[in-house]
Structure 1
Amino acid sequence: MTGSWKDNFKTSNFWPTHFNPELFIMSQWQSDKETPSLIYLCVRLAVFVSFFVIWILTYTMEPSAGKPRWPVFLTNWGMTLNVLQSFLSCLMLTCAIIGTKVLDNDALKESVLKCYKTYWVLNVMATSVAFTITFIYWTLIYKQTGSYWSTMNFMVHGFNSVLMFVDFCLVAHPVRFLHLIYPIAITFAYTIMTAIFYVCGGTMRDGSRYIYPILKWDQPVPTIGYCAAVLILLTIMHITTFFLYKLKTVIGNCIFGEDSMIPDGFEEQSTKMMVV
């Protein structure tokens, strides 16, 4: 059974800790939630490879003059988060399968599951940031910059969210309301970076001082307003994901039974804890 609704807002739930780390190598839709699934691993690998290929292309397809500026784009920050979280997910699941089904040694699985906290933080940031990037790009930036449609353009500003939504639908681990602090933190970090870029005299390939048309630090009032609006949008995206997770849990419980998994992890620490 899960905790009460108010448990979602306990300050302890700011931290990425869960009493059952094995949920982070399981799919919500596998009936056996005690054994790592080879089918699930294949899906996870497909997601990781897709993200990795797109990530590589974002750099290799950038003109030579633009390559030094690759790190300043939020799109590339988001894609890097996507790659890192999907890689850690694959690593944990692969080591768990090798440890339990090949080596018959649970020590390997228990060791690699220590990564689950890092993965969880990266995952929640990647999910909210991907959805926010897609929304902002197609509603604001695409029209203002006069960008043209291309497959690559869609891959980094649309397909990124498609893959993260698939990822969200598959995983068994929870989304916590108070984990909103993590996508907000990465957004603050990016905003500070753009301000430093401007103050230090950074320029884009066309000589412009602006990384994005909504980030004009020589016009601080509207720029800060845009940044505040982005944070509000990011918050809405995370809250939406949280409620979608609750809906997903209800559907999962209807299919597999109320006690088939314990998604929230609000229960007290017990002897079942494997990783501290």
Structure 2
Amino acid sequence: MGCSEWCKQEFKPCNFGFGKHLRPELTVTSQWPSLPPVIYLAWRWFAFAYHLAWLIVTVAAATIYTAGRATWFAYLTNWTYFLLTVDVLIEALASLVWYFRARNPNVDVVPETTTWYMKLSWFMYSITTTVVVLVGLTYWYDNHHCLCFFLAAGADDFYIDVQTHGITLVYVVLNLALTGVPVRIYHLIYPFAFAVLYTVFTVIYYYAGGVSKNGKRYVYKGVLDWADPNTSLTWISILAFVGIPVIHVLLVYGLHLVRVTIHNKCFGDDCMADNKVRQAEMTTLSDENTKSYCIA
């Protein structure tokens, strides 16, 4: 596919949404035909159980370390980890539904368009993947010089920090390599909306008298402190207008392209034959409906 054809496919208006797609089943299955569906399903449910357990640990630890102050929900890391856990649950449920649907002889295996649970799973994945990478890389960039100190001192929250900023990064990259969920450049608007939502929350939290886990009036010292709105807005703008596009387009979308390219090299003949059958089926639709499909 040439550059002009790629642009034509990628920047279709329908790629803002999660509706019609040539291969809807990719939103709930693995990219790799050689991976047994039951293994992929087991991966989904294992990931949910693992992240749910750690979510419970982080909430319990925050309650203990802050002497009962309800500050856990004030932090972007915890917002992100909660979102990741919900996302993994939705992906696990969607994969489970698809697993049994694919084995039901009375139901068409491949729907003409994405179902509601496929759309929901794809939507959550689009937000979570970019946001987790952004939060994780930002954290380690800001705290890499403290790593040896944390290890030596045995900080109480060291293992939680490694889990919520490190293991999550590993999980997201591994999941990005295994899953068949498409990544769209236009979908960067959804993690951006998440960032706006969190920013609005911190403003309300600040003026409602909210404090950090240390009892201070800021959430992130020198970065997100509405006593100094100019500094807060500067950092928020950098992360939202620079960080999110760079992470989403260069890293997340880039890794998606690498995955698809490797898949097409390894399974190209089967993939192309499958696409030709699907395109032939689509020609039976009206021209208007056919043009609305996002084939890329």
Root mean square deviation of aligned Cα: 3.2
The equivalent residue for 2:60 is: 60
**268 and 55 in structure 1: CA distance in 2 versus 1, 3 angstrom threshold:** farther
The equivalent residue for 1:150 is: 158
SS of 1:223 mapped into structure 2: helix
The equivalent residue for 1:85 is: 87
Summarize the alignment of residues 119-198 of structure 1 with structure 2, pairs less than 5 Å apart: 119-140=121-142, 148=155, 150-198=158-206
Return the offset for 1:207: 2.1
Q: 1:260 aligns with which of 257, 271, 274?
A: 271
SS of 1:174 mapped into structure 2: coil
- Checking the alignment, whether the CA contact within 8 Å between 2:28 and 2:95 is kept in structure 1 is yes
**228 and 93 in structure 1: CA distance in 2 versus 1, 3 angstrom threshold:** same
The equivalent residue for 1:222 is: 231
SS of 2:70 mapped into structure 1: helix
Counterpart-to-counterpart distance in 2, 1:269 and 1:229? 46
% identical aligned pairs: 28
Indicate the structure (1 or 2) with the bigger Cα radius of gyration. Answer: 2
The amino acid across from 2:90 in the alignment is L
Summarize the alignment of residues 200-239 of structure 1 with structure 2, pairs less than 5 Å apart: 200-213=208-221, 214-231=223-240, 232-239=242-249
Return the offset for 1:169: 0.7
Counterpart-to-counterpart distance in 1, 2:264 and 2:128? 26
Return the offset for 1:269: 9.7
Task: Please list every run of 5 or more consecutive structure 2 residues that lacks an aligned counterpart in the other structure.
Answer: none
- Checking the alignment, whether the CA contact within 8 Å between 2:63 and 2:70 is kept in structure 1 is no
Task: Please list every run of 5 or more consecutive structure 1 residues that lacks an aligned counterpart in the other structure.
Answer: none
Q: 2:26 aligns with which of 23, 27, 45?
A: 23
Return the offset for 1:201: 1.7
Counterpart-to-counterpart distance in 1, 2:245 and 2:194? 13
- Checking the alignment, whether the CA contact within 8 Å between 1:141 and 1:212 is kept in structure 2 is no
The amino acid across from 2:16 in the alignment is F
**190 and 258 in structure 1: CA distance in 2 versus 1, 3 angstrom threshold:** farther
Q: 1:242 aligns with which of 233, 253, 258?
A: 253
Task: State TM-score, norm by structure 2.
Answer: 0.79
Counterpart-to-counterpart distance in 1, 2:256 and 2:145? 32
Cα distance per residue 1:224-255 (max 9 Å; x no partner)? 11111111112111012112211211111011
Return the offset for 1:31: 3.9
**13 and 100 in structure 1: CA distance in 2 versus 1, 3 angstrom threshold:** closer
Q: 2:207 aligns with which of 174, 195, 199?
A: 199
- Checking the alignment, whether the CA contact within 8 Å between 2:81 and 2:164 is kept in structure 1 is yes
Cα distance per residue 1:136-182 (max 9 Å; x no partner)? 112226769x8747222100111111111111111112100000000
**98 and 81 in structure 1: CA distance in 2 versus 1, 3 angstrom threshold:** same
Task: State TM-score, norm by structure 1.
Answer: 0.84
